[in-house]
Structures are given as C-alpha cells and as structure tokens.
A and B are shown apart, each in its own frame.
Chain A
Amino acid sequence: MINNNRKQLSVVRRREAAFSEGEDTVQISARRHDKTTIFDLSGDIDFANSPEVRQSVLREIRESRASRVVVNLSQVRYIDSSGVASLVEGLKASRDLGSRFILFGLSTSAREVLQLSRLLKVFEVYDTEEQAMAS
C-alpha cells in the first residue's frame, strides 16, 4: 500500500524560451512507500526546468536514502537532452548509494530520446507503476 506521504518538491515553473511563447510547466512530487521513493513528474522536462528537476531529485535521493527510486514519467510528454542528463544524474546518485533507479510510463517521444541516447538499456524501465513496484 502506498501511503499519503506525498511531498511537493517543486511547483509550477514558467518557461521563457528565447523565442517561444506560452507556458510550459513541470511539477515534481515525491511519495514514499517503505524503502521506495516514487517521484511523480509531469510536464515537459527541458533545458528551462531540468536543473530544478535534477536538484529536487538528487536532494530527495540523498535525504531519503531509499533502497529503490522510482520515477513516474507517465505525465511527461517530452524530455530533451538536458532532461536525460538529469535522469542520468539521478541514476548515478542512486548507484552511489546502492539504490536501484527505475523509470516507468515513458511516452513515445521520451522513449525515443532515451533510445537514441543508447541509455534505455542502462535504466530499468517498466510500463506501469505496478510493474515497477513488483520488480
């Protein structure tokens, strides 16, 4: 059972890309279940907000020292190379602490970006949260 220990790590942030208009946001929250920390990410993860994602994820990994870190990307449409870099940082930090770092719910474009980076095989990737939690 997943408890309600949900922690809002970062709230909506406005992206002001050099030429683009509109508002892209990323939301990050963390849930803890036994020795697992689950990050729920939503929005696009790109150059504008990936430092925030990286900082939040790394801080939580180091503070919680969970044996398993699970990242929910089911509400993430797109990850650019900066976002991929943030996930790699999370993976490395988890490995340093002896934790597993698991992704689930990748969109088609996020999967393609990870595939092109040849990183898909480096991460543990599952389709659903149930599969990730059962792994």
Chain B
Amino acid sequence: MIERDPIDTQKPEWLSQMETVLEVLNEGVVITNDRDRVLFANSRFVEMTGIPRQDLIGFDSSSFYSAQEWDFMRRQIDLSLQAGHNRYTFVAPRKDGGRLPVIISSRRLENSGSNFGIVTFTDISEQVRAEEELRSANAQLLKRQMEIEEDLRLAARVQNSLAPRSQVWDTMSVDAFYHPVHSIGGDFALVNSPDREHVSLLVCDVSGHGIGSALVANRIYSETTTHLRSGMPFIEMFGALNRFLIEDIAGSGMYVTLAAARIDIHRRNMVFAGAGHPPAMLARRGQIPLLLESRCMILGALPDAVDVTANLEVQLQPDDRIVLYTDGITEVFNSRGEMLGVEGVREIVRQASSLPAREMKQGILDGVAAWREGPPTDDVSLMLVHVR
C-alpha cells in the first residue's frame, strides 16, 4: 500500500475557489503540485479513467503509468516547465489497465511561491477509432485497387493480343499501331486473311474508353472476325452489328464506328465501307490523298444506320498506301485549341506518303504528335497498307 503524505493532499486556496468551475468542464482536469502529486481530479477525469478520486488524490502521477510511458511524460513535463505550457497526444491510464487516447494540455502555474501543474485531458478515442477505421478502409481499398489493376493488366494483355501484327504478302504489307489511353480501351484493328488471295482489314472504335468499351470492343471483334472469315458483304455485316448493338446491349449508351476494307491481293482491287468513321485515305506519292468516306452512320444508335450504297470500289496501283485509323488521330488539339481534323491528317498523310513505306506509319504518328499539345487523351489505332 502506497502511503500518502498529508501535505500532498492539501489544496491551495485558489484551487478550492476554482473547483466548482473545474467540475463542470467537459475535459478531464488534473492539478498536481511541484512533487507531481495529484491534488485534484475533476469528475470528468474520474469518468474517463474509471479510477476513483480517493485513488488519485495525493498519489504520484508516475504511479499510473509504466516506466516507459513515464519517461515520455517526464520529457513532456520538462518541456512544459521550460516553455510554461505544452500540448501533445498521448494516453490516460484506466483503472482496468487499459489506455485512453487523449490530447494532454499542460500549463505551469506559480502561486505563493509554489508551482502547480494544470493538466487537461481531451478524450480523442472516437477520433482515433475513426482514423483506425479509415486506415483499415484505405488498406482494403488499396488491396482492391491492386486486384483491379492486376485484372486490368491481364485484360490489357488479352486486348493487346488482339492487336494486328505487321504482315507481309507478295504484293502487299500491313503495318499497325495501337495505343489505348487507359490500360484497355475501345479501339481495335484486325487483319484477316481467309485465303491467299484476299485480305480483310477493319478498324473499330467503341465510344468511350475503359472496361465497358473494351468488353464491347472484344465482343465486336469476335462478331466481325466471324463475319469477315465467312466473306459476308460489308453492308450485311454492318446491319448485323447494328442489330446486335441495338438489341443486345441496348441502353449502354455505347456506339461503334468502323472502317472496313477487303482487298483482292492479285487483282489489286479493294472494296471499302465505313460506318460513322473518319475517312480512310488512299495515298499516292505526290498527290493529295483520296478520302474514302463512311456512308453509314455510327452503329448502335438507330435502326436505319446502314446505307445500302455503302460499298466503295477502288482499283489499287503499285505503291498505293491505304491509311485506316480511329478518331484518336484526328481529334487532337494544338496549343491554340485547334483540332487537327481530317484535313490536317490528310496533309500529314500526303507528306508522309513520300517516305519509304516502312517509315510512313511513324511519319504519320510523328506528324500527329507534333500537332498535339500534351500526351494522347484518346485511344489511337492506325493501320497502314502498302500495295507493292
């Protein structure tokens, strides 16, 4: 049993006068003498700690803390002595041995030649609990984000596997570029060669970016691959896609634009059709590129999107270059806010058509990048066909 010195329980007169006021405060208040003995603890402090007042008054403050805790407290008390006041976050002891998170404000008072410590304890357990819950929620969110990012990395690998690779035939070569603005996107391009005589090319843009667009793009990829392999005429293919979009994914607010070409390699004949898509270009060295414009509207919006006269037939010549792309090429802005547009791309293609075929794709991309202020903000697909 720890003995108390009667002198450590004697309240100075000023304290007796203040007691009534200290009792009504919402914060715990403890008054100590210059020997760190507790002279007074208000009801709120007793309530916070659960320690009866008779077990507080006259006792050394250090007796309520572990040696390690008191080392910290001692340093804070010394700081308070030097500065006259101090404020810090720590814990208040509880009768059951637990600890209550608190903000401690201490001030040194000199009266009649004696020093007193006036210490207030503000309960911050709710705040600490909220912070812990927030930390826990943040940790869960971070974990979930990492899972999503891993899923997106996997999805991006799957989608990248759909990107066409450069291909070379006796009389023709295809060079392709694909860059989604997010890890996955709504653009895709495909090259399909069902036999040695024909090559089908397709560039598609699903409105928007991200997961929804990528899912629709993958679905359209499957549909179009099947149709192209079967040799289905473009008008029929566009009609089938339009019905699929309206009937199967109605209300998604997603629409599709695409440009498709089927080339007879040996006859050097091309059939082209587009639906709401920026015009493909037929570039011949030294000439202004010919625009191959869409005659159908974007697919998925309206039932009558497909124009029965959609097909364009073009006789190709050696060294012709055919450029198919998505609006990530045309809808780029310079520092003055001017959009490159089809005519701007047409000029870039004209200039790049004087380059050797293997350098033309990069020439177009460089020209677009030179116009654009900042990095790309839309998915970019570009496919270049060179007729040898």
A residues sitting closer than 8 Å to B (CB atoms) are 17-21, 46-47, 50-51, 54, 77-78, 80-82, 84-86, 88-89, 92, 108-109, 112-113, 116-119, 122
Contacts and interface: CB of A to CB of B under 8 A. Distances in A.
Interface residues of B, number: 35
A97 B98 CA distance: 67
B295 A118 contact: yes
The 9 nearest A-B residue pairs measured at CB: A118-B297, A19-B375, A109-B339, A81-B207, A117-B276, A85-B207, A88-B301, A117-B298, A17-B377
A85 to B, nearest CB: 5
A19 B181 contact: yes
Contact of B327 (A19, A20, A80, A86): A80
A120 to B, nearest CB: 9
B253 A118 contact: no
Interface string B43-81: 000000000000000000000000000000000000000
Nearest to B295: A118
Interface of chain B, helix or strand or loop or mixed? loop
Nearest to A107: B339
Nearest to B275: A118
A15 to B, nearest CB: 9
Nearest to B378: A80
Interface string B290-328: 000011111001100000000000000000000000010
Contacts of A19: 181, 374-377
Nearest to B297: A118
A78 B331 contact: yes
Contacts of B182: 18
A55 to B, nearest CB: 10
A21 B276 contact: no
Nearest to B206: A81
Contacts of A80: 327, 331, 378
B333 to A, nearest CB: 7
B215 interface: no
Interface in B6-55: none
B226 to A, nearest CB: 25
A118 B296 contact: yes
A88 B295 CA distance: 18
Contacts of A78: 331, 333, 339
B257 interface: yes
B377 A81 contact: no
Interface of B: 181-182, 205, 207-209, 253-255, 257, 275-279, 294-298, 301-302, 327, 330-331, 333, 337, 339, 341-342, 374-378
Contacts of A117: 257, 276, 297-298
Which of B254, B255, B279, B301 is packed against the most chain A CB atoms within 10 Å?
A: B301
Given A47-B209, A112-B341, A119-B298, A85 B257 contact: no
Given A84-B298, A117-B297, A89 B253 contact: yes
Contacts of B331: 78, 80, 109, 113
Contacts of B333: 78
B189 to A, nearest CB: 16
Contacts of B297: 117-119, 122
A116 B253 contact: no
A119 B377 contact: no
Contacts of B341: 109, 112
Nearest to B254: A85
Nearest to A120: B297
B337 A116 contact: no
A54 B253 contact: yes
Which of B276, B341, B374 is packed against the most chain A CB atoms within 10 Å?
A: B276
Given A109-B339, A116-B330, 10 more contacts: A19-B377, A81-B298, A86-B253, A88-B301, A108-B339, A112-B341, A116-B327, A117-B297, A118-B294, A119-B301
